[in-house]
Amino acid sequence: MSTSDLEHLPISQQYEQSENNGSNHSANPTLGDVIAARLSRRDLMKGLLGVSAITATVSPLALMAASEARAQGGNTTPSFNFKEVVAGSDENHYVAEGYDADVLIRWGDKVAADAPAFDPTKQTADAQAGQFGYNNDYLGYIPLNGRSDHGLLVVNHEYTNEELMFPGLGRQDRDAKFAGMTKDLADIEIMAHGGSVLEVKREAGKWKVVDGSKYARRITASTEMRVSGPAAGHDKMKTKADPTGTKVLGMLNNCAGATTPWGTWLTCEENFNGYFWSKKAGEEGPDAKALKRYGAPGEWFNWGTYYDRFDYAKEPNEVNRFGWVVEIDPMDPNSVPVKRTSMGRFKHEGAANVINSDGRFVVYQGDDERFDYVYKFVTEGKVDTANPAANKDILDKGTLYAARYNADGTGEWLPLVHGQGKLTAENGFANQGDVVIFARLAADLHGATKMDRPEDVEANKKTGKVYVALTNNSRRKVGEEDAANPRADNRFGHIIEMIPEGGDHASTRFNWEMLVKCGDPSVASVGATFNPATSKDGWFGMPDQIAIDAEGRLWIGTDGMNLKVTGRTDGLYAVETEGPARATSKLFFRCPVGAELCGPETTPDLETFFVAVQHPGDEAGATFEKPATRWPDFKDDMPPRPSIVAITRKGGGKIAV
C-alpha cells in the first residue's frame, strides 16, 4: 500500500499498514503455504468441501464437533456465561449486561506523588515524567501478599499520537516534514513512552490507584537500563555515550509482555525502528542488509533532530540497543531495568511463559511483522520457586528457537545457536552476540516459517496448549492461496493452536492446529471459520493480544476492527477452545471509536478484568480539536485519553462464570 493509499487512514492504521510492510524476502515457506499443503491432503477436508458450501465459512473441526454434539444430544453453548454486547461503532465503550466498566486511570493522571494535575494546554516533559503515559498497552497484575484485591498493575506505554495529544499541531510525519514539532514536544513524547507501575486496591467493590504509593514509578525512553546476555559489551552495542555496550537510555514502543513467577515484569520492545533518523545514511552503512531487514531507520518520529543517539549517521549502533525484552522489578522502584538479550532482537510481541515439567523456564514470543516468525526461549537453569531472588539472572542463559510449521500438522523448533547449521562466521555470525542482535537473519538462514504477522503468543498453563494470534497479512498475493487456507489479501487474520510434544514445552517438536480463521462468516469470500454457534455480534478480525484466565479460557483483544469494511470497533472476545463449542466467540467489551483493545488481564480470583483502551478517537483526519470521540472525559476542553478500565460484576463474583 503506497503512502498516497494510506492518507485516508487514521494514524494507528497507518502505523500498522505502512511500516509493517514485511521485510522478510527469504525463500522460506509461508504459513499459508504450509496450511494449504496440509489441509489439501486431507481426505476428510475434501469430503466436507464436496458436501456443502458452508465449509467456505465454517471450520471443518468446528463442524465435526458441532455435528457430533448434536448427534449425541450434546450442548453446543459456550461455557462463557454473559449476555453478549451488540457489535457496532460509536463514541462510548460498552460491557456485557450485569457488569461495570470503570475508568481507573487516564493519560496524564498522576503516577508520582508530586506530579501535577493534567492540563492538556500546559504540558511539559517534567510533568509527563511523573504522569501516566500515552497509549497504554500490555497490563500485568502482581498480587501484594497474595491478594486479588490489592496489587501492582504494570503498564506498557507503546507510542504517541501527536495530532491528538497537542493543541493546534495536526499530524506530524515525514510528509508533513514534522513542521510543527519542537524539542519541547519531542521531550514530552519521550517521557510519554515506556511504562508505569501502579499500586491498585479494591475497596467497597471499586478499584482505585493508591496515591503516594512507595511502588509508584514511571519508566520512560530516557530511563537508564542495563544490557545483559550475549549482546552485552558486543561491538555492535557500543556507542560514543556508552563505549562499554552495557548501558542504554530507555525502552521504545513497548507493546505486549508478561509477568514472571518470581514477580518481575517482562516488557517487549516492538517497532523500535521507527524512532531512528537518516534513512539514506542507514542504507549506505556497514549493516545495510540488517537495517533493511529490520526496517530501520524508519523516521516515524523526528527525535534524531534533537538527539544524536536517534540519528543513525551519528550513532549507527544505537538502533541495535532496542528491540529486546526488558525485565523490570516492580517491587523496587530504584531497580535498574535489564534488557535480556538472550531472547533475541526483533519486533517483540508478547513473552508468554511457563515453568516446564523439568523446572526450566520457557518464554514464547512473536515478531509482529508480516512474514516474520514465532520464537521461544528455554532457559539453561531451573526456576527456584522457593527463592525468587535466585532467579535474578535466569533469563541470561538458554536457547533461542524459531518455529517451523510442517504440512502434516507437526512443527519443529529450530535452535538459533552460533556454530549450528549456517550460523557461522562465514555467514556473518561470529558469535552468539551476532545471532541475538540479528535474530531475524539467523531465523531466515535456519528456514523458519514465515507467518501472517505474529502478535501475542500465550501459553495455557491448564491445558498446556499455546495460542498464536496472527493479526493479518494484506500483502499475501493472489495465487499464493488455495481453497483450504490461507487467504490472499488476508485482512482479518487467524489463530493457531500449538501442542508441545508430550506436554514438554522444552521439546523441539510440537503439533499445531487451526483454531479459527477470522472475519465475517456471512461473507463466503472472506473464508472465516468460526463455530456455527457464533452470533452476528461474536465474530471478529485482527486478533492481537491474548489472555488466558484463571479457568484456562481464552480471551482475544482485537486491533483494526474499526475499518470501514467491518462497521464495528475493536473489543474483547471470549473464545471457546475445547469441546463441541470450540471456535465459538462472544463479544464481552466494546471499545469507543478509533480505539484498540489492549492489555487484557484478570486478577487471580477472576473477579476483575483490566483492559487498556489505546488511541481512542484515532479516526481519519482526527485532531486534538476534532477527535472522533472525547472518551473518557467527554469534556470540550479535554482530548481523548488512552485509559485503563476495570471491569467487575455488579454485586461481585467471577467474570463470565
pLDDT value, residue 45 = 32
Provide, rounded to the nearest whole percent, the portion of the chain with pLDDT above 70. Answer: 85
Decide: helix, strand or coil at residue 507. coil
Q: Is residue 39 part of a domain?
A: yes
Asked if residues 577 and 466 have their Cβ atoms less than 8 Å apart, the reply is no
Residue 580 forms part of a structural domain: yes
Q: Do 582 and 65 form a contact (C-beta atoms < 8 A)?
A: yes
Q: What is the arithmetic mean of pLDDT over 183-203?
A: 98
> Does residue 303 lie in a domain region?
no
Q: Note whether 306 and 189 are within 8 A (CB).
A: no
**What would the pLDDT profile of 574-627 be if each residue is shown by its tens digit?**
999 999 999 999 999 999 999 999 999 999 999 999 999 999 999 999 999 999
Q: Report residue 365 as a C-alpha cell.
A: 514470543
- Please count the residues of the chain: 657
String of DSSP letters for 280-341? HHHHHSTTHHHHHHHT-S--SS-GGGT-GGGBTTT-TTGGGG-S-EEEE-TT-TTPPPEEEG
The closest alpha carbon to 532, from 21, 175, 117, 52, belongs to: 52
Residue 68 or 194, more confident: 194
> What mean pLDDT do residues 340-368 have?
97
pLDDT digits (tens, 9 = 90+) for 493-513: 999 999 999 999 999 999 999
Position 18 confidence tier, pLDDT thresholds 50, 70, 90: very low
pLDDT digits (tens, 9 = 90+) for 95-114: 999 999 999 999 999 999 99
Cell 505474529, residue? 454
Q: What is the pLDDT of residue 1?
A: 31
Q: What phi and psi values does residue 618 have, to the nearest 5 degrees?
A: -85, 75
Which residues have C-beta within 8 Å of that of residue 28, sequence separation ≥ 6? 444, 447, 448, 449, 450
Which of 123-127, 281-285, 525-529 ranks highest by mean pLDDT? Answer: 123-127
Partners of residue 326 on adjacent β-strands: 267, 339
Q: Could you count the other beta carbons within 10 Å of the beta carbon of residue 382?
A: 15
Q: pLDDT by residue (tens digit) across 363-392?
A: 999 999 988 999 999 999 999 999 999 999
| Residues contacting residue 503 through CB under 8 Å, at least 6 positions apart | 357, 464
Mutual orientation of helices 31-40 and 43-51 as an angle, nearest 10°? 80
Say how far apart CA 365 and CA 454 lie, in whole Å: 9
Average pLDDT rounded to a whole number, residues 258-265: 98
Range in 65-69, 414-418, 458-462 with the lowest mean pLDDT: 65-69
When mean pLDDT is compared across 69-83, 114-128, 179-193, the lowest value belongs to: 69-83
| Res 476: pLDDT | 64
pLDDT value for 24: 67
> Per residue in 501-529, is it b (16+ CB within 10 Å) or e — as a string?
beebbbebebebebbbbbbbbeeeebbbb
More confident residue, 409 or 259: 259
pLDDT of residue 185: 98
Domain count of the chain? Answer: 1
- Whether residue 501 contacts residue 533, with contact meaning beta carbons closer than 8 Å, is answered with no
Structure letter (DSSP) for residue 392? T
Distance CA 265, CA 581 (A): 34
In whole angstroms, give the CA distance from residue 329 to residue 260.
10
Helix-strand-coil split of the chain, %, nearest 5: 20, 30, 50
pTM: 0.92
CA distance 94 to 109: 23
One-letter amino acid for residue 254 of the chain? N
Give the domain range for residue 586: 3-270+323-649
Higher confidence at residue 36 or residue 562? 562
The answer to the question of residue 355 being in a domain is yes
Q: Is residue 351 in a domain?
A: yes
Residue 22 lies in a domain: yes
Dihedral pair phi/psi, residue 383, rounded to 5°: -75, 130
Instruction: Please check the confidence at residue 151 and state whether its pLDDT lies above 90.
Output: yes
User: What are the φ and ψ backbone dihedral angles of 500, each rounded to 5 degrees?
Assistant: -60, 140
Handedness of CA 176, 182, 186, 192 (dihedral sign): negative
Q: Name the pLDDT band for 42 (thresholds 50, 70, 90).
A: very low
- The residue that leads in pLDDT, 68 or 346, is 346
pLDDT at 23 over 90: no
| Alpha-carbon gap, residue 303 to 503, rounded angstroms | 47
Q: Give the mean pLDDT of 44-56.
A: 32
**Residue 12 in domain:** yes
Question: Domain for residue 314, yes or no?
Answer: no
DSSP designation for 593: T
DSSP state of 437: H
Identify the pLDDT of residue 287. Answer: 86
Distance, CA of 461 to CA of 311 (rounded, Å) = 43
Residues 179/19, Cβ–Cβ less than 8 Å: no
Quick one: pLDDT at residue 283? 56
The count of other CB atoms within 10 Å of the CB of residue 210 is 14
The mean pLDDT of 483-490, rounded to a whole number, is 53
Residue 274 has a CB neighbour count (10 Å cut-off) of: 18
Nearest to 642 by CA among 137, 189, 249: 137
pLDDT at position 628 is 96
Q: Is the pLDDT of residue 61 over 60?
A: no
Question: Does 26 score more than 90 pLDDT?
Answer: no
What is the rounded distance in angstroms from the CA atom of residue 68 to the CA atom of residue 41? 23
Question: In whole angstroms, how far apart are CA 117 and each of 112, 121, 141, 190, 430?
Answer: 11, 12, 25, 19, 52
Q: What residue type is assigned to position 45 of the chain?
A: M
Residue 20 has pLDDT above 60, yes or no: no
**In the predicted structure, residue 70 carries a pLDDT above the cut 80:** no
Using 50, 70 and 90 to split pLDDT, how confident is the model at 7?
Answer: very low
Annotate 72-129 with DSSP letters as a single string. Answer: TT-----S--SPPPPP---SS-EE-TTEEEEEEEETTSB-STTPPPP-TTS--HHHHT
Residues 82-104 have a mean pLDDT of 97
- Segment among 58-62, 492-496, 517-521, 543-547 with least mean pLDDT: 58-62
Instruction: Collapse the DSSP code of 524 into the 3-class scheme (helix H, G, I; strand E, B; otherwise coil) and give the result.
Output: helix
The rounded mean pLDDT for the chain is 89
**Of 486, 500, 410, 499, residue with least CA distance to 451:** 486
Query: Does residue 252 contact residue 272 with C-beta atoms inside 8 Å?
Result: yes
Q: For residue 409, what pLDDT is reported?
A: 87
Assigned C-alpha cell, 565: 469494511
pLDDT value, residue 47: 31
* pLDDT of the residue at 526: 86
In three state form, how does the secondary structure of 28-77 look?
CCEHHHHHHHHHHCCHHHHHHHHHCHHHHCCCHHHHHHHHHHHHCCCCCC
Q: How many Å apart are CA 626 and CA 623, to the nearest integer?
A: 5
pLDDT tens string 557-566? 999 986 677 8
Which pLDDT score is estimated for 561?
Answer: 84
Which residue would you say has higher pLDDT here, 19 or 128? 128
Angle, helices 60-71/43-51, rounded to nearest 10 degrees = 70
User: Residue 520 pLDDT > 90, yes or no?
Assistant: yes
